[in-house]
Amino acid sequence: MIHCHRVRALLSQLSSKCSHSLQPISHKIFFSTTSEQSFTTSYLTQHCGFTPQSALKASKRVRFDTAKKPESVIAFFQQHGFSPSQIQSILIRAPELLTCDPIKRVLPKFQFLASKGASTHDIVTTVTRSPGFLRTSLEKHIIPAYELVRRFCPSDAKAISCVIVCPNSIGDARVQHNVKLLLDVGVSHSNITHLIRTRPSILCSTNFIDAVEEVKGLGFDPLKLNFSVALLAKRAISKSQWDDKINALKKWGLSEDEIFQSFKRQPSFMLRSKEKLNAVMSFWVSQLGWDSSTLLASPIIFGFSLETRIVPRASVVQYLLSKGLMKKGASLVTPFCLTDKLFLQKFVTCFEKGETSRLLKLYQGGS
């Protein structure tokens, strides 16, 4: 009985000691955490350009109780050619960099890009556009991803230019996955090269297989260049933008089937803005009085400049038609598709001196 009383007394004393000893420690941890978050939030707003809301959000991902570490990171970026506004932009999107060791984590990535021919300006541009790739492993991710891009580029210089345009090409795991997908469905290397060199960002998209299957379903051959152009058009343009362009063309009396057949012939024309499509159509139909279907039969014309190509050549063609100097039934679109040299040879300098002089004046913007 005495033994039981002693045991209960000892347990009571132990419980009391634990309760007294744990309370201050818990309070200290809470106070320390709150203090760190408060200092972090204050530093981010006062020195890094964060709004109070974004600073509070960032402080849940990164915390520090002195300015020593973040100031060393900022100094590092300054020493490597980044402006204050660029540093601010980088840190707002990747605040965790403020607590890293930049010599160990960031510098090797700069050195890798430099070893492939990137200039200081290139590195600054790349990092400012997409600081997220600095979070990834150099050995496990960046080098293999760069080598993938390089595989489809003729030189390091071309590969680096792709990286500068789209840093995610070496910072997004989806690129490797989507390139493998393209190879698996039989897309040619030249098509993949075209995508990487013109719009590598679409290789960073999710559900990429849906767009690939849709383009295949439209009848585009994965071995021909138009496949990558069609894929680009389908992936780079949102459904609402696509519908807006279709509706804009339909207002000129074109059917959806005509537009679709034109897309199959020259898919790049749907990459033009709605405004450009309307401007070319307006000039062709309203000012020249020509048929819209004739223009849509050669959609490559939508890619030419109105001011420097379409309007000057149209002046020449109109004059030739008015004087009966073009063969009856001659194509109206052919003159716009020729090189400058061939256009001059076939439609300007092939006539007598007086006519050639008048045609040259029209071509050069005279009346």
Give residue-wise pLDDT tens across range 270-329. 999 999 999 999 999 999 999 999 999 999 999 999 999 999 999 999 999 999 999 878
From residue 39, alpha-carbon distances to 30, 47, 100, 104 in Å are 14, 12, 17, 25
pLDDT at 22: 41
pTM exceeds cut of 0.85: no
> Does the pLDDT of residue 30 top 50, yes or no?
no
Percent over 90 (pLDDT), the chain: 63
Q: What are phi and psi of 324, to 5 degrees?
A: 70, 25
C-alpha gyration radius of the chain: 32
**Residue 178 contacts residue 205 (beta carbons within 8 Å):** yes
Q: Please give the mean pLDDT across all residues of the chain.
A: 87
> What's the CA gap between 162 and 290, in Å, rounded?
41
Of 3 and 168, the structure prediction assigns the larger pLDDT to 168
Token pair recorded at residue 152: 């489809």
Q: How confident is the model at residue 258 (pLDDT cuts 50, 70, 90)?
A: very high
pLDDT in tens, 136-190: 889 988 898 899 899 998 899 989 988 888 887 777 788 889 999 999 999 999 8
Token pair recorded at residue 125: 């541009």
pLDDT at 13: 52
Q: Which residue has the tokens 């989507």?
A: 178
Interval 85-113 mean pLDDT: 94
